[in-house]
Structure 1
Amino acid sequence: MKPFVFQHAQDVWPEGETLLHVYITPQDQDRELTALVTRAHDVLKDFPITPVALPWLHITVDQITDRVGANISATERDALVAELGKELANVEPFDVMIGSLMSYATGVIADVHPDGPLKGLHTTVRAAIQTVRGSNATGYPTKVPHLTLGYAAEECDSDQVQRKLRNEVRPGHAPMRVDAVHLVDVTSDTQAKTITWDHVATIPLGGS
């Protein structure tokens, strides 16, 4: 496992800049997920891996890549929220399963499945962003959906991490309800290996 590098489109996140993202975040009702993550964080204390604190857990749906957050005006943000709201009104809320936990190349992630509803959500969100800002605004590479539990701060043995996660975090799965996405202005700290954000808007699924 190697130290994690935060990414802007297919390049390194520009130092000191924020980036707009569309995230899925856990809710208070996802108590089994909270318990799962808490158990995993206890394991990560034994390794040079920075855990993602509960308030900052997220699944990335997409990243707006044509400009940094400071250069996207309130009017432009409002246009994004309006278009996302219009398109996501046609997407019904759904449930996903978080897990199994995996020691990855640069940290610890949890798989998220089934793929179908998440891929559909990503397609809808990306189309909405492109409608407002053009195709150059969606340069972030499409990835298999996942929830990051920790970012590697130093090199360590990923096999040891995986073994300890599998032995000590039981069960390794938890359900999660997806009934909204969030437009957020995200700050990354390269040294601390943390992600935080300012909330811009919550966009419900199904027009609720």
Structure 2
Amino acid sequence: MKPFVYKHADARWPEGATLLHVYLAVSDQDRDLLDLVTSANGALKDFPLTPVPPRWLHVTLDQITDRPAAAISQQERDELVGVLTKQLTDFKPFEVQVGSFLTYHSGVIADLHPDDDLAALHRAVRGAIRAVRGDEAVRYPWGLQRLTISYAREEASSDDAQRILRRVRPSHAPLHVTEVHLVDVTADSTAKAITWELLATIPLGGQ
């Protein structure tokens, strides 16, 4: 593992800027998952990793890449929330399993599966962003998604960390997907921390 670098699309996160994202957030109803993440991070306490605090655990559905958050007006944000709400009205809540844990090139992640509904949700969110802001706003490289539980501060042995992670039991826990959040995200590259201001919550299925 090498130190984590925060990205804006395929470039470095601009220093001092915040960026709008659409996130899935881990909530109190995901207690088994919160306990599992705590166990995994505790098992790796001697590694140069910065755990993601429970309140900031998230899955990135998309990043709005055309402009920093400060350059996106309230009217533009309201329009995006409106289109997201309409787009997700018929999207039913679902559940994914989180795990097993995997050492990544710059931290520790958990696999998400099955991921058909998750990928469909991403496409719906991206379609809403594109409809409001155009192709330049959807340059975030979205692939197989994961839940990041810690970021590397320094170089460390991925193999050693993985051997420890394999002993963490149970190896899986559910994540309940009932809503998405439009958030204004701050990345602290020194502290290896992601935090955000909640701008809007959009329920799935028009709840």
Same-fold status (TM-score > 0.5): yes
Unaligned runs of 5+ in 1: none
Task: Output the amino acid matched with 2:124.
Answer: T
> How far has the Cα of 1:104 moved from its partner?
0.8
Per-residue CA deviation, residues 5-38 of structure 1 (Å, 9 max, x unaligned), is: 0000010000110000000011211111011011
1:76 aligns with 2:76: yes
Structure 1 residue runs of 4 or more that deviate by more than 6 Å after TM superposition: none
Structure 1 residues 89-104: aligned runs within 5 Å:
89-104=89-104
> How far has the Cα of 1:171 moved from its partner?
0.8
RMSD: 0.6
1:178 aligns with 2:177: yes
Per-residue CA deviation, residues 134-187 of structure 1 (Å, 9 max, x unaligned), is: 1110010012110000000100000011111112x1011001110100000000
Corresponding residue for residue 33 of structure 2: 33
Aligned residue for 2:197, secondary structure, equals: strand
TM-score w.r.t. the length of structure 1 is 0.98
| Contact kept in structure 2, 1:88 and 1:124, CA below 8 Å | yes
| Contact kept in structure 2, 1:129 and 1:138, CA below 8 Å | yes
Unaligned runs of 5+ in 2: none
Q: Percent identity?
A: 58
Alpha-carbon distance in structure 1 between the residues aligned to 2:43 and 2:17: 32
1:121 aligns with 2:121: yes
TM-score w.r.t. the length of structure 2 is 0.99
Corresponding residue for residue 152 of structure 1: 152
Task: Output the amino acid matched with 2:104.
Answer: Y
Alpha-carbon distance in structure 2 between the residues aligned to 1:156 and 1:142: 26
Alpha-carbon distance in structure 1 between the residues aligned to 2:43 and 2:143: 26
Structure 1 residues 50-69: aligned runs within 5 Å:
50-69=50-69
| Contact kept in structure 1, 2:44 and 2:164, CA below 8 Å | no
Alpha-carbon distance in structure 1 between the residues aligned to 2:185 and 2:54: 16
